[in-house]
Chain A
Amino acid sequence: MFKKILIANRGEIACRVIKTAREMGIKTVAIYSDADANALHVKMADEAVNIGPPPAAQSYIVIDKVMDAIRQTGAEAVHPGYGFLSENKLFAEALEAEGVVFVGPPKGAIEKMGDKITSKKIALDAGVSCVPGYLGEVADADEAVKISGEIGYPVMIKASAGGGGKGMRVAWNDGEAREGFASSKNEAAASFGDDRIFIEKFITQPRHIEIQVLCDGHGNGIYLGERECSIQRRNQKVIEEAPSPFLDEATRKKMGEEAVALAQAVGYTSAGTVEFIVDGERNFFFLEMNTRLQVEHPVTEMITNVDLVEQMIRIANGEKLTMTQADVKLNGWAMESRLYAEDPYRNFLPSIGRLTRYRPPAEVNEKARQVRNDTGVFEGGEISMYYDPMIAKLCTWGPDRASAIEHMRNALDGFELEGIGHNLPFLSAVMDHERFISGNITTAFIEEEYPDGFQGVSLNNASLQHVAAATAAMFRVAEIRRTRVSGRMDNHERRVGRDWVVSLDGGQFDLTIDADHEGSNIIFANGDEMRVTSDWTPGGQLARLVVDGVALVLKVGKIPGGFRIRTRGADMKVHVRSPRQAELATFMLEKIPADTSKFLLCPMPGLIVKINVEEGQEVEEGQALCTVEAMKMENILRAEKKLVVAKINASAGDNLAVDEIIMEFE
């Protein structure tokens, strides 16, 4: 076995690989850019080598620098993780030239699977089902129309070198085919410098389902079931699960066997993933093969109990697979939620900055519940602008899909994350979405269910009642603590009352608290009774309670006269008042938030570098209004429509907070 391996990556995946390597008794070398000097993967590794400035193009993907680090540390093998150099054949060649083992497939396999047209040809030859289409390069628009007609509409016109949704067009008729060809070609030329175009059948009700394969260098190949990755936002996977709620045993077997056949057709070794698109009738079509470890590999590990990184290292070391296809048993259900530093309330705008609070839920490994969190960050760490905005991969496992989802809900509720915008509320919302729960999902799920973006979650009345019971019990405890202050008048202490009115999310609950030493009985005015128990103490930012026999996890913040409560994707102000306070509160006027369309608000805390306009000036749509510098990035704020600047409230050099008014319009 290798004595030392280098991990040519950063973030959670570097940490993930280091964990397994350490368990195998292998020493680890991390590489890091200047921005990652304090990163978790650097702390975890036995050795670490700086490989240059923050941008990946000047550090993590510079082959020479990685090679230098290998020479310097004497690493015998390299695990590339995903992204960066993981599917770079030049890197594999460079390693080979120096006799360093690449923990991944042979370079030939990388190359063959790297090109969409080549890979599809190989797949067809290997008997793998492919999307009906024309594999050759399409010469011109006329040919595009002809081919489209032969395949049958709708068709997808795609750039050969494409990815990330660029250079892709759907056409439903000849006219659209003609147009789509031209625009795909232009986009492909501009984006990839390669304008080769091909056409295939457009799949309706598509699901993204992929097969995990493992092949050794001795001709053995197995598949470890599938992963369903249909929950995507703009081709970025957000939630994955294994197995898929859609496949039956026969389809799974067929897909698995075809995937292994394809891998073996290109002499594949190591772990790899064959991606399929599956239509509403369970017809599956080969999409592409990823010749590396996938981000979402943990869900496979959780249902198969196979450590994929360990297998990759063993295969790279020339070992034989110790398990056969018959040994692969899919056990239970696993879910993965990707936590991104993206603000769902601001159209998933990337958010960077300091993680002032980062407390993932505890990892557990029980008979009916597992929680696993793969991460590369820590409290007090920084989410940098230079890399992927993924913070962590939170995975849960249960004996079935419903329990895996339930564990995920609770794990998400218990995940404390502050300092940056993040998609936790969105993930929680999906976990509670009826269509997601039903398993009836397609790759268009997010687009269809959140067409206007994510507006937050409103809890149903039953959940609100639980939150009301919980917060009333908590508030009472906090109020009692306040009465225990020194300096009070003996014998004339304040007695905290039993009757409370809880208002939240527009609703109101009148209730009475009957407390004992173990918990509180909440009696609602409508007669409902609930028992609340918790070990929450005043000031606690996370409350774990049992309300009416149901576990409830709340993130708790302070607001005047109540709490800010975050749970299940909802973010609410909860006021807990005595009946008299509640009565008087009814006289308070609802303050209508100012019409912000007449203002230019500062979108982030930052420094005003320049104001480009003057008071009274008429500006056109898209015209630059001012420049805000935040995190050393200059952001130009532009007019959303034609406007007249009425008043400018800030000047160059001012430091502004989020939502401070920079200028007003007429």
Chain B
Amino acid sequence: MNEILLELESRRKAARLGGGQARIDTQHSKGKLTARERIDLLLDEGSFEEFDMFVAHRCTDFGMEKDRPAGDGVVTGWGTINGRMVYVFSQDFTVFGGSLSETHAQKICKIMDMAMQNGAPVIGINDSGGARIQEGVASLGGYAEVFQRNIMASGVVPQISVIMGPCAGGAVYSPAITDFIFMVKDSSYMFVTGPDVVKTVTNEVVTAEELGGASTHTKKSSVADAAFENDVETLSEVRRLVDFLPLNNRSKVPVRPFFDDPKRADLSLDTLIPDNPNTPYDMHELIKKLADEGDFYELQAEYAKNILTGFIRLEGSTVGVVANQPMVLAGCLDIDSSRKAARFVRFCDAFEIPILTLVDVPGFLPGTTQEYGGVIKHGAKLLFAYGEATVPKVTVITRKAYGGAYDVMASKHLRGDFNYAWPSAEIAVMGAKGATEILYRRELGDPEKIAERTADYERRFANPFVAAERGFIDEVITPHSTRVRVCRAFASLRGKSLKNPWKKHDNIPL
């Protein structure tokens, strides 16, 4: 018995060393942590329970049978984040460069199956050179097994991918399917084909960082939801995100004690909207002043900045926020912002997270770039997402809500539960100037007359009352009372039950 215990201990010791001290040192010298160290930072101290520590690959080609390290390049198991269960896999770059073998994939699949069965989020830490070439098609099969589980888990349990090293080729499609992707600045990259292939095929010279670094994916491609300075910071922010998320699609959103009065009035909001309707203001200020403790977890902050998405808490309970940002492109909707917000709305709806929509939108961005890019169908994604969402929906129109964009932004007509407007709201088909130019085309030669018509239109339509008279706006509220009104609205919706008709699935204009 004693011997067996000794062997267990020595096997564990070997497994914990992964690819050996030299490789661990190399990993550290790049400012990167090992797979196990990352798990230590991700989970509550001492909460990690490992699976499949002794799993080894079965490959016999290319002399692989002589090197069968325990764990096979990925550490898997479960643990807790602030006491709430999560499943985790963490690829070990020190073992065969973290490459994915059939058994490596099996380990990942095992914990994903467990996560689905037990209703807990899956967090994948990616640091892998790609497929294990020695295994050939078995490795590719492994990827697809993981993809299939990602797909099945989508909308059942939250899935978070953390890219902490290379993630290339087929490997990118697992994170791509998950709900959130985080990257580490300067030490992670993702691409379907690397710089060498790019050079060969297209003659384009590009660095790995330019092609698929954190900056590229947070600013240009929108593949990543956020990027952080280093491993330590990234994992600490993943923990913070998990604090916002429900464990699965059947559990309620998490609630935690809060130290911010729901009745807190904020008089400074009464002056948030500038006197000049064409002057921008920062919508972040409104979000932070509405949120508990000013805490806003922004996602895709660097991409399509004309719309803001992220999580806040109201009365300690998670709420998803979508807000037009007048600071950028006047807050208009376009292809990128519609896609960004639509995906966020669908995540919230899938996991029963109530949605707060803050509206200041002058319309859709005009132009050939937009039309050629298919703004019709991309814009429709957001429309579709809002329309199908059955979670509590509260909307506040702060200023402009023009044209089709008014309809799209969680309007009453899309089953908005509470649709509030500030007194500064202008709910109309379009701005006064544009409207009069169409309505009074024949008077265009007479600037005085047009000015008078414009003023007339403003008096008549540039306010919330026309919409309120029709019941499209439930109530006009003062800016300083917005927090308490929104808190009470969501409080009243805690028992909301709304079902869409049965269907196999919908056909959102992808």
- Chain A residues at the B interface, C-beta cutoff of 8 Å: 37-38, 354-358, 378-382, 481-489, 492-494, 497, 537-541, 558, 560-561, 578, 580-581, 584-585, 587-589, 591, 605, 655
Q: Does B233 contact A (CB under 8 A)?
A: yes
The answer, yes or no, to whether B407 is at the interface (CB within 8 Å) is no
B353 sits at the interface (CB 8 A): no
Residues of chain A within 8 A of B32, CB atoms compared:
587
Query: Within the assembled complex, what's the spacing in Å between the Cα atoms of A523 and B270?
Result: 47
B33 interface contact, C-beta 8 A: yes
Contact with A along B266-299 (1 / 0, CB 8 A): 0111111001000001000100000011110000
Do A591 and B186 have beta carbons less than 8 Å apart?
A: yes
- Would you call B255 an interface residue if the criterion is a C-beta within 8 Å of the partner chain's C-beta atoms? yes
Q: Are A354 and B251 in contact (CB under 8 A)?
A: no
Q: Which 7 A-B pairs have the closest CB atoms?
A: A539-B293, A380-B268, A488-B83, A589-B31, A537-B259, A494-B44, A380-B271
CB pair B230–A486 under 8 Å, yes or no, is no
Nearest Cβ distance between residue B180 and chain A, in whole angstroms? Answer: 16
A selection of 8 A-B contacts at a CB cut-off of 8 Å is A481-B257, A487-B254, A488-B83, A538-B293, A560-B237, A585-B232, A589-B30, A589-B31
Decide if B9 is an interface residue (CB 8 Å cutoff). Answer: no
Taking the closest CB of chain A, its distance from the CB of B20, in whole angstroms, is 17
Instruction: Decide: B237 and A541 in contact? CB cutoff 8 A.
Output: no
Q: Establish whether residues B256 and A580, one from each chain, have CB atoms under 8 Å apart when the complex forms.
A: no
A561: B residues at CB distance < 8 A: 232-233, 236
Give every chain B residue within 8 A of A358 (Cβ-Cβ).
268
- CB-CB under 8 A from A488, the residues of chain B are 80, 82-84
Instruction: Specify which of B270, B294, B329 lies most central, judged by the most chain A CB atoms within 10 Å of its CB.
Output: B294
Interface residues of B in 336-362 (CB under 8 A from A): none
Complex CA distance for A560 and B251, rounded to whole angstroms: 27
Task: Let me know if B259 and A493 touch, CB within 8 A.
Answer: no
- Chain A residues whose C-beta falls within 8 Å of the C-beta of B40 in the assembled complex: 580, 584
Of the residues A379, A578, A580, contact of B267 by C-beta under 8 Å: A379
With A489-B84, A587-B28, A589-B230 already in contact, the answer to whether A558 and B295 are too (CB < 8 A) is yes
Decide if B456 is an interface residue (CB 8 Å cutoff): no
Contacts of A354 in B (CB 8 A): 271, 281, 285
Partner of A655 from the list B236, B251, B327 (CB cut-off 8 Å) is B327
Picked from B82, B232, B236, the residue with its CB within 8 Å of the CB of A483 is: B82
- CA gap between A481 and B31 in the complex, in Å: 31
* Chain B 360-384 interface residues, beta-carbon cutoff 8 Å to A: none
* Complex-state Cα separation, A587 to B293, whole angstroms: 32
Q: Given the complex, which residues of A lie within 8 Å of B259, measured CB to CB?
A: 537-540
A38, A354, A584 pick with most chain B CB within 10 angstroms:
A584
Q: How many A-B residue pairs have CB under 8 A?
A: 123
State whether A484 and B256 are in contact (beta carbons under 8 Å apart), knowing that A380-B270, A589-B31 are contacts in the complex.
yes
- Contact call A489/B83, Cβ cutoff below 8 A: yes
A484-B256, A560-B237, A589-B230 known; A379-B80 Cβ under 8 A:
no
Task: Name B45's contact: one of A37, A578, A588, A589 (CB within 8 Å).
Answer: A578
Evaluate contact between A485 and B83: CB separation under 8 angstroms.
yes
B443 at the interface (CB under 8 A from A): no
With both chains docked as a complex, state the minimum distance between the C-beta of A659 and any C-beta of chain B, in angstroms: 14
Interface string of B31-73 (1 = CB under 8 A from A): 1110001001100110100000000000000000000000000
Please report the C-alpha to C-alpha distance between residue A655 and residue B331 in the assembled complex, in whole angstroms.
Answer: 12
User: Do A539 and B44 have beta carbons less than 8 Å apart?
Assistant: no
In the complex, which residues of chain A have a beta carbon less than 8 angstroms from the beta carbon of B83? 483, 485, 488-489, 492-494
Residues 236-277 of B contacting A (Cβ, < 8 Å): 236-237, 240, 243, 246-247, 251-252, 254-260, 267-272, 275
A140 to B136, CA, bound (A): 96
Tell whether, in the assembled complex, residue B232 and residue A38 are in contact, meaning their CB atoms are under 8 Å apart.
Answer: no
Supposing A379-B267, A537-B259, A561-B233 touch, asked if A485 and B41 sit within 8 A by C-beta, the answer is no
Tally chain B residues at the interface, Cβ within 8 Å: 54
Q: How far is the CA of A356 from the CA of B229 in the complex (A)?
A: 27
B176 in the interface (beta carbon within 8 A): no
- Does A539 contact B292, Cβ atoms closer than 8 Å? yes
B80 in contact with A588 (CB, 8 Å): no
B85 within 8 A of A: yes
With contact pairs A356-B285, A581-B232, A655-B328 given, residues A481 and B271 touching in the complex (Cβ less than 8 Å): no
| Given pairs A379-B267, A482-B82, 20 additional interface contacts (CB within 8 A) | A354-B271, A354-B281, A380-B267, A380-B271, A381-B271, A382-B271, A487-B247, A487-B252, A489-B83, A489-B85, A538-B293, A539-B259, A539-B295, A560-B229, A560-B233, A561-B236, A581-B232, A584-B231, A587-B33, A588-B232
Closest to A490 in B: B83
Q: B228 in the interface, Cβ–Cβ < 8 Å?
A: yes
Of all chain B residues, the one with the shortest Cβ separation from A357 is B268
CB–CB B292/A486 < 8 A: no
Is the beta-carbon distance between A587 and B45 smaller than 8 angstroms? no
Residues in chain B near residue A357, CB distance under 8 A? 268
Contact A560 B228 (CB under 8 A): yes
Q: Which residue of B lies closest to A590 (CB)?
A: B31
**A485, B251: Cα distance in complex, Å:** 13
A45, chain B: closest CB distance, angstroms:
18
**Distance of A300 Cα from B40 Cα, bound (Å):** 61
Pair B84/A380 contact, Cβ less than 8 Å: no
Chain B residues positioned under 8 Å from A486 (CB to CB): 252, 254-256
Query: Which residues on A sit within 8 Å (CB–CB) of B82?
Result: 482-483, 485, 488, 494
Is A541 touching B294 in the complex (CB atoms < 8 A)?
yes
Shortest Cβ gap from B95 to chain A (Å): 19
Given contacts A489-B85, A493-B83, contact A380 B329 (CB under 8 A): no
Which B residues are in CB contact (< 8 Å) with A382?
A: 271
Given A380-B268, A485-B243, does the pair A588, B327 have CB atoms closer than 8 Å? no
Minimum distance in angstroms from B361 CB to a CB of chain A: 16
List, in ascending order, chain B residues with CB within 8 A of A580's CB.
40-41, 45
When the two chains form their complex, are residues A591 and B229 in contact, meaning their CB atoms are under 8 A apart?
A: yes
Question: Whole-angstrom distance between the alpha carbons of A578 and B247 in the complex?
Answer: 26
Instruction: For the complex formed, measure the closest distance between the CB of A311 and the CB atoms of chain B, giving whole angstroms.
Output: 35
A485 contacts across to B, CB distance below 8 A: 82-84, 243, 254-256
With known contacts A354-B281, A492-B47, A492-B80, A487–B229 Cβ distance under 8 A:
no
Measured CB to CB, the closest approach of chain B to A34, in angstroms, equals 9
- Distance in angstroms between the alpha carbons of A514 and B436 in the assembled complex: 70
Distance in Å from the Cβ of B241 to the closest Cβ of chain A? 11
When distances are taken between beta carbons in the complex, the residues of chain A under 8 Å from B270 are 380
Min CB gap A580→B, angstroms = 6
Complex CA–CA separation, A580 to B252 (angstroms): 32
Contact present for A584 and B294 (CB under 8 Å): no
8 Å CB interface, B69-101 against A: 80, 82-85
Return chain B residues, CB-CB under 8 Å to A494: 44-45, 47, 80, 82-83
What 1/0 flags go to B325-337 for Cβ under 8 Å of A? 0011100000000
Quote the shortest CB–CB distance from B183 to chain A (angstroms): 14
